[in-house]
Amino acid sequence: MNRDVRITAIRITPVAFRDGPLLNAAGIHEPWALRAIVEVETSDGRVGLAETYGDAPMLAVLEQAREHVLGLSPFALNTMEERLKAAIRPAPGAVEYTLAPGSHAAKNAAKAISAFEVAMLDLQGQAIGAPIVDLLGGAVRPQVAYSAYLFFKYAEHHGKPYAPDPWGEGLSPQQIVAQARRMVDRYGFQSIKLKGGVFEPRHEIDCIRALREAFPKMPLRLDPNANWSLATSKRAAEELDELLEYYEDPCPGLEGMGELARHTRLPLATNMVVTSFEDFRRNVELRGAQVILSDHHYWGGLRATQQLARMCALWGLGMSMHSNSHLGISLMAMTHVAAAIPNLSYACDTHYPWQDEDLVRGGRIAFEQGAVRVPAAPGLGVELDRAALARLHEQYLACGIRNRDDLRQMQKYDPAFTGVSPRF
């Protein structure tokens, strides 16, 4: 690439895609999930891609970033970062963590940096004919393992007739085992995570027991999204000790996790209490979470995720990856960075099997024995299917959802639901 090449255009397209009635601590998923597709175009006619949150506050942040990225060389990642850190300030009183990270305003700069970094790395890779993983130091594994991510779920969405999804109801231990069986048979996953924090802990532990019986060798995880009190989390740990590979965010707060860590043999994992390097330092002092779940979308990109991985290696912490509802561009970015992290100690989370749509050319990305092969094609290794992008954008315009709101959606089923947490 000629060194005079510059970024000349940025397109941000919000999209909506079908999502299942998946239950969590905050409520239930709406029928449509939102993402934003970022296209960064250069003076030599290349287009770099990224995918990020598509909630209204995130779209505003991406718009705010636009003028600071236009005119840069696609290699000027450090300048892009410095500019966006200076220009994008956390909103006052920003919430540190929500289940809808598009409105995770404390991370606005990091989220924008991440989106533009991925698109610029895609451009760099295309220019030199190398996959992004090579720009990150090269692959230490040829494929990246993901885990089966189970959810309690209703059979259908509330309200006007939405076509029921093929997964059916997932409430009882038998139904959760059937859901796991379907995921494992279809995608070959070799570890299982259950999203908890929905029902009484007794029921969720019974589901984990049923999974243990059905899959005696499979590593299992349970994630109540901080919806269990410290006392409940300690009690549950006595039973879960022998069942889980890690215990993810059972109770709220760094202090809570630090206290819990003194009462269980289980490694505690988190994507809720360690979401910045300040949190990381405090967590090390408190000896709380021993497994950090990274997410390049809010940690500030692929290189920041590598930095986080190095910190985990330095402090002897395990490392894995968190996800939200996403499409194939995000899955590819996750796969490139995960392939470049030597100390990735667990299979990564992905919501991808819950989606049946995508907008990458050639259709949905395949899992082989639960893993995604690291692409060898230049850059991210995926291109946009423009007809699919237009279709998913039309869905965005028509669906009326502009901010993820699992609480409001749950109140359609149960007007008395408060979403107050911890509930158990």
Sign of CA dihedral 70, 75, 77, 82: negative
Residue closest to ligand GKR when measured from CB atoms:
24
Using the CB atoms, write b or e for 96-127: b if 16+ within 10 Å: ebebbbbbbbbbbbbbbbbbbbbbbbbbbbbb
Partner interacting with residue 52 (select from Mg ion, ligand GKR, none; CB below 5-8 Å by kind): none
Adjacent-strand bridge partners of 38:
12, 50
Give the Cα separation of 79 and 416 in Å (integer).
Answer: 49
Adjacent-strand bridge partners of 111:
none
Q: Which of 104, 322, 336, 351 is catalytic?
A: 322
251 binds ligand GKR per the rule CB under 6 A? no
Query: Is residue 2 exposed (0-12), middle (13-18) or buried (19+ Cβ within 10 Å)?
Result: exposed
In the complex with Mg ion, the residue whose CB is nearer, 84 or 240, is: 240
Q: Are 331 and 297 in contact (CB under 8 A)?
A: no
257 binds ligand GKR per the rule CB under 6 A? no
- Least Å distance between CB 207 and ligand GKR? 16
- For residue 410, the Cα-to-chain-centroid distance in whole angstroms is 22
Nearest C-alpha neighbor of 232 from the set 256, 219, 251, 213 = 251
In the complex with ligand GKR, the residue whose CB is nearer, 195 or 303, is: 195
Partner interacting with residue 77 (select from Mg ion, ligand GKR, none; CB below 5-8 Å by kind): none
DSSP letters spanning 129-189:
T-BHHHHTT--SSSEEEB-EEEE-B-SS-SSS-PPPPTT--B-SHHHHHHHHHHHHHHH--
In the complex with ligand GKR, the residue whose CB is nearer, 117 or 223, is: 223
Q: Which helix (H) or strand (E) holds 71?
A: none
225 binds ligand GKR per the rule CB under 6 A? yes
Give the Cα separation of 296 and 222 in Å (integer).
Answer: 22
Partner interacting with residue 333 (select from Mg ion, ligand GKR, none; CB below 5-8 Å by kind): none
Per-residue contact track with ligand GKR, 87 to 126, x per CB under 6 A? Answer: ------------x---------------------------
- Least Å distance between CB 167 and ligand GKR? 14
Partner interacting with residue 24 (select from ligand GKR, Mg ion, none; CB below 5-8 Å by kind): ligand GKR
Nearest C-alpha neighbor of 204 from the set 220, 188, 189 = 220
Output the CA angle 206-243-263, nearest 5 degrees: 105
227 binds ligand GKR per the rule CB under 6 A? no
Q: Which of 68, 195, 326, 336 is catalytic?
A: 195
Residue 195 designated active-site: yes
Span between the terminal Cα atoms of the chain, in Å:
57
In the complex with ligand GKR, the residue whose CB is nearer, 99 or 359, is: 99
275 binds Mg ion per the rule CB under 5 A? no
195 binds ligand GKR per the rule CB under 6 A? yes
Output the CA angle 276-277-278, nearest 5 degrees: 90
271 binds ligand GKR per the rule CB under 6 A? yes
Q: Which two tokens stand for residue 65?
A: 């970033």
Q: Of the ranges 106-114, 306-314, 318-326, 409-417, which one interacts with ligand GKR (CB under 6 A)?
A: 318-326
Judged by CB under 6 A, the residue of 7, 15, 22, 84 near ligand GKR is 22
Nearest C-alpha neighbor of 352 from the set 379, 322, 323 = 323
Segment 197-256, which members bind Mg ion (CB under 5 A)? 223, 248
Residue 336 designated active-site: no
Segment 322-351, which members bind ligand GKR (CB under 6 A)? 322-325, 349, 351
In the complex with ligand GKR, the residue whose CB is nearer, 122 or 249, is: 249
Please tell me the count of residues contacting ligand GKR according to CB under 6 A: 13
- Least Å distance between CB 278 and Mg ion? 20
Residues of the shown chain interacting with Mg ion in the complex, contacts defined by CB under 5 A: 223, 248, 271
What positions carry a catalytic annotation?
Answer: 195, 322
Which residues contribute to the site for ligand GKR (CB under 6 A)? Answer: 22, 24, 99, 195, 223, 225, 271, 322-325, 349, 351
